Structure 1
Amino acid sequence: MKKILFLLAVLPFFAACTRNAVTGRNQLSLVPESQLQQMAVTEYQSFLSKSNVVSAGTNRDAEMVKRVGSRIANAITQYYTGQGKGDVLNGFKWEFNLVDNKEVNAWCMPGGKVVVYTGLLAVTQNEAALAVVLGHEITHAIARHGNERMSQEIITQGLGELVNVATANNPKVNSIFNTVYGPGSQLGYALPNSRNQEYEADHYGLIFCAMAGYNPREAVPFWERMMAASGGQKPPEILSTHPADANRIEKIKGYMDEALKYYKPVK
């Protein structure tokens, strides 16, 4: 009897494991992606309403953010449509905004809601390096890394939570969403998995950057600048959701030959 109850308990987890069309990896996906996209629209609009959004009509940096983002989004759309996997991007309505904030950061929510902080541009220094960052952040969204992390957090809160996952008005699900996607937030409970997601975002982000016509080689000097900018103040990799910069750079060098196969410079 106990074995039967155990199987009934874990069966939903197996049913919720799907093969990701981007990475090819099996991952847990308990929350409908369409629901996450709806929640993202609300959170994104709320964030922008409270932030100093830089106008692309009057600012060259803001225009650059939109241009680079749109080129990467278009390249990804063409690539997956050509492979017959266009449903990867179902519901995506891309938005790219530059926000006046000294923090060195950028992020992408489900459905293609992207923000770049002005503080990042001092480190990217050029359009190709910005493309490296946006390719990375967009990969997180299309590879559904946030859904995977939300699903893991739902499990840690107990099997009973699964009953109400499907309702968008569930306050606990909303709370988990804000923990995963809220600007500047991190989930520390699954650090090794988060680092794996970071490496996936680096890997496929380089490919998407190259597909959009930007030189993926800019990734190495960019991360070297990031390492220098940190001044050695980052925590050890074991305590961080992100890989140590030196380890990340070595991984990126290993991805480079593959990415360069897709590289055709912007004319």
Structure 2
Amino acid sequence: MMIDRYLKSLYVLLLVSFLTACATSPMGRTQLAFLPDAELDSMGLQAFENLKKEKPISRNARETEFVRCITSAIAREVGGEWEVVVFEDASLNAFALPGRKIGVHTGLIDLVDNQDQLAAVIGHEVGHVMARHSNERMSQQMGAQAGIALVQAVAAPQTAMGQTAVSLLGIGAEYGIIMPFSRLHESEADMIGLDLMAKAGFNPAESVTLWLKMAQASQGPRPVEFLSTHPSHETRIEDLQARLPHALQLQQQAIAAGKNPRCAK
């Protein structure tokens, strides 16, 4: 009798935990996310502070303004104030963290031809945050209790637990460990990012050009950390092209509403 009562209580606890952890992504997919958003924001803030202490920050005012101009336009579509930092790093990389933090490497700025191409990457990374992908994969891989324990581990990224934590947030490459987002997460971030850049008034067609440039760059000797965890270029481009008519309509609506970003490289 005592065992039956215990099992029933455990079942109810698990059921409540499951139901409260259920969420819906911006693309309408059901997610399982145990961790409170405030905990993920705390992790993102700590990880970003660590990066600012450990990585050189660009002092190029023109490049920084270029990135901030693009980010501000996209941020207006999702709300909140986003902190943006340009890091002196030749790799073709960018990331966004819970807590509204964005990092862009100078190597990526050198690669792009215009505001629209960089907006495609920034929109993609913001898409990961808006879809709560970090929370979802922490919940899937570590469980609720272990996930909460990782909050403190972010403060020590050189430790094994700390490296796992920052990799789950999406910036593991900074510490020599990469825990890639799933193909499903990448596809969602692509679609969310494409819509975001279009709603902000950027040309979504340039997203295809950007990924073609990234694919070409990945064939050379320079490391392309941003692409090391992503789906094949062909699949990504096909999916973007399929959604492009919808995104172009969003851009036309944005332009009609007076959204016309002019971010000079």
Confirm or deny a common fold (TM above 0.5): yes
Q: Name the residue aligned to 2:75.
A: 73
- Find the partner of 2:178 among 171, 186, 194: 186
Confirm or deny that 1:63 pairs with 2:74.
Answer: no
What SS does structure 1 have at the residue aligned with 2:213? helix
Q: Does the CA contact (< 8 Å) of 2:125 and 2:189 recur in 1?
A: yes
Indicate how the Cα distance of structure 1 residues 251 and 27 shifts in structure 2: closer, same or farther if over 3 A, else same.
same
Tell me the equivalent position of 1:242. 230
1:77-156 equivalences under 5 Å are 77=79, 92-155=80-143
Contact 2:92–2:107 (8 Å) recurs in 1: yes
Identical counterparts, % of pairs: 32
Distance 1:29 1:4, change over 3 A: same
Distance 2:147 2:185 in 1: 27
Q: 1:18-29 residue pairs with structure 2 within 5 A? A: 18-20=23-25, 22-29=26-33
Deviations 1:89-146 (A, max 9, x none): xxx5411111110111000000210000011123222111001110000010111011
Within a 5 Å distance, the mapping from 1:24-39 to structure 2 comes to 24-39=28-43
1:182-209, CA deviations, whole angstroms, 9 ceiling, x for partnerless residues? Answer: 3424325xx7xx1111111110101100
Residue 207 of structure 2 aligns with an amino acid whose one-letter code is A
Matched positions, count? 235
State the Cα deviation string for residues 163-186 of structure 1 (Å, max 9, x = none). Answer: 883894478986643231234243
Q: 1:217 is matched with which residue?
A: 205
Partner of residue 165, structure 1: 148
Unaligned runs of 5+ in 1: 78-91, 156-160, 234-239
**Where does the alignment leave 5 or more consecutive residues of structure 2 unmatched?**
155-159, 222-227
Are 1:32 and 1:166, in contact at CA under 8 Å, matched by a contact in 2? no
Q: Which letter maps to 1:116? A: V
Alpha-carbon displacement from aligned partner over 1:203-234 (angstroms, at most 9, x marks no partner): 0101100111110000111111111111189x
C-alpha separation in 2, matches of 1:99 and 1:138: 17
Task: Note closer, same or farther for the CA distance 1:72–1:162 as it changes in structure 2 (3 Å cut).
Answer: same
Preserved CA contact (<8 Å) 2:123 2:193:
yes
Q: CA RMSD in A?
A: 2.8
Distance 1:219 1:148, change over 3 A: same
Against the structure 1 CA distance between its residues 167 and 114, is the aligned structure 2 distance closer, same or farther, given a 3 Å change threshold? closer
Correspondence 1:192-207 to 2 at 5 A: 194-207=182-195
